[in-house]
């Protein structure tokens, strides 16, 4: 993992925060429906935004395009898997293909940040001297 990360001063801090964000998405996806707070935005937007942030985080963390592609593929598969788990675990939630599509579009948008000057924003904030 060390060679895949960009040369940060504190690589484990940033990788750890990114993993915590992934854990938050997993937990939030598997909370029973009745325990979810009411939010004034569409749940599709929540899915889209969460996965866009995770994919953009991967672009910030990893140096190689192959790493970005692999992580983004895993994020798409995670989104599909969590939708299946919601249906199978009797959480008062159901499998929603539209949620999986919103997740995937979010991943693509997050990956698209690699085409912008912002792809190294975190590295400029915390470079290894």
Which residues lie closer than 8 Å to 46 by C-beta, 6 or more apart?
39
pLDDT digits (tens, 9 = 90+) for 8-27: 999 999 999 999 999 999 99
Give the per-residue pLDDT at 127: 94
pLDDT digits (tens, 9 = 90+) for 34-60: 777 788 888 999 999 999 999 999 999
Task: State the pTM of this model.
Answer: 0.93
Could you tell me what percent of the chain has a pLDDT over 90? 79
pLDDT band for 2, please (50, 70, 90 cuts).
low
């Amino acid at each position: 993992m060390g060679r895949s990360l960009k040369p940060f001063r504190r690589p484990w801090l940033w990788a750890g925060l990114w993993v915590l964000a992934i854990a938050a998405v997993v937990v939030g996806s598997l909370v029973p429906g009745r325990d979810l707070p009411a939010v004034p935005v569409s749940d599709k937007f929540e899915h889209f935004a969460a996965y866009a942030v995770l994919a953009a985080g991967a672009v910030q963390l990893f140096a190689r395009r192959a790493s970005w592609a692999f992580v983004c593929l895993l994020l798409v598969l995670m989104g599909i898997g969590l939708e299946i788990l919601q249906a199978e675990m009797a959480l008062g939630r159901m499998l929603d293909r539209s949620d999986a599509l919103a997740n995937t579009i979010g991943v693509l948008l997050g990956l698209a940040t690699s085409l912008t000057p912002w792809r190294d924003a975190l590295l400029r904030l915390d470079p290894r001297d």
